[in-house]
Amino acid sequence: MTDPRTPAGRTVLVLGGTTEGRAAAAALSAQAGIRVVSSLAGAVRSPRLPDGEVRIGGFGGADGLAGYLRAEGVTAVLDATHPFAAGMTANAAAACAATGIPLVVLRRPGWTPGPGDRWHRVASVADAATALGPLLPGPDGRVLLTTGRGGLAAFAGVDARFVVRAVDPPPPPLPARHTLLLARGPFDLAAERDLFAEIDPHVLVTKDSGGDATAPKLTVARERGIPVVVVDRPPLPRGVTGVGTVADAVAALGL
């Protein structure tokens, strides 16, 4: 139900789970008369909770989300999910179109290569697995895999030694030869240098998640002359545009 303390039923649903989502929830909660509800997917155990109300779990697709928006009297939706949460963004776009509720999509800018970077951009995690072959010296090649806990089955058939870094244990199947490194960013430059020195990877594989929290690994790869396979982020749904900062997102909501 709509909170009676919020004038004109100003309720903002923040689709969060990211640093930007928490920052946006904090900025909105600081404004008088706005009820903020952050929705987290529940994919990460012990998530960092934002300011305001929090719900955890899915909606049941676009139709379920549309029903939630109507039932809760939501007046605007801020999609601050991970750049690779394409399914949630598609559902948000469809639900907002069906209900006539404004949608603002917040996407941190993607990474761009600089001088000395040896990047190989690919369209998917599966393509990243295929791209590894020419970049490895052979079966004893070492890969630092930082694409998260999902989609690792694509690497199960790659004959190499993997260090898989993720926040929570990933589901099988996993690469046959792997070491699991459970860690939550941000990762500073000194820590990344220590990690690279310890495992001495031949290749780094990552997603173009953008932002500063996990960017130092790219700096270390450049310093060490290591090739990086970068999975491009999926495009936004047709007709949907994004903003790049929390301030721009809050302004775009027009509250």
pLDDT > 70 in the chain, percent = 95
**120-163 residue pLDDT tens:** 999 999 999 999 999 999 999 999 999 999 899 999 999 999 99
The pLDDT of residue 22 is above 50: yes
**57-90 residue pLDDT tens:** 999 999 999 999 999 999 999 999 999 999 999 9
Q: What's the CA gap between 47 and 51, in Å, rounded?
A: 13
pLDDT of 89: 97
pLDDT tier for residue 29 given thresholds of 50, 70 and 90: very high
Contacts of 236 (CB under 8 A, 6+ apart): 89, 93, 105, 107, 242
pLDDT > 90 in the chain, percent = 87
Token reading at 116: 């000395």
With vertex at residue 245, the alpha carbon angle to CA 244 and CA 249, rounded to the nearest 5 degrees, is 95
The pLDDT of residue 7 is above 50: no
The one-letter code for the residue type at 119 is W
Select the more confidently predicted residue: 2 or 133.
133
The 3-state secondary structure of the chain, one letter per residue: CCCCCCHHHCEEEEECCCHHHHHHHHHHHCCCCCEEEEEECCCCCCCCCCCCEEEECCCCHHHHHHHHHHHCCCCEEEECCCCCCHHHHHHHHHHHHHHCCCEEEECCCCCCCCCCCCEEEECCHHHHHHHCHHHCCCCCCEEEEECCCCCHHHHCCCCCEEEEEECCCCCCCCCCCEEEEECCCCCCHHHHHHHHHHHCCCEEEEECCCCCCCCHHHHHHHHHCCCEEEECCCCCCCCCCEECCHHHHHHHHCC
Q: What residues pair up with 14 in beta bridges, in sequence order?
A: 38, 78
**158-212 residue pLDDT tens:** 999 999 999 999 999 999 999 999 998 889 999 999 999 999 999 999 999 998 8
pLDDT tier for residue 42 given thresholds of 50, 70 and 90: confident
pLDDT of 111: 96
The pLDDT of residue 43 is above 90: no
pLDDT of 255: 80
pLDDT of 64: 98
Where exactly are the structural domains of the chain? 7-109+235-253, 119-231
Scan for tokens 């700096």, then name that residue: 219
Mean pLDDT, the chain, rounded, equals: 93
The reply to whether the predicted model has a pTM over 0.95 is no
- Residue 135 in contact with residue 120, Cβ under 8 Å? yes
Answer whether 7-109+235-253 and 119-231 agree in fold.
yes
Domain at 119-231, CATH homologous superfamily: NAD(P)-binding Rossmann-like Domain (3.40.50.720)
The pLDDT of residue 6 is above 70: no
Q: On the CB side of 51, how many CA atoms lie within 13 Å of its CA?
A: 15
- Residue 80 in contact with residue 21, Cβ under 8 Å? yes
Domain boundaries 7-109+235-253, CATH class = alpha beta
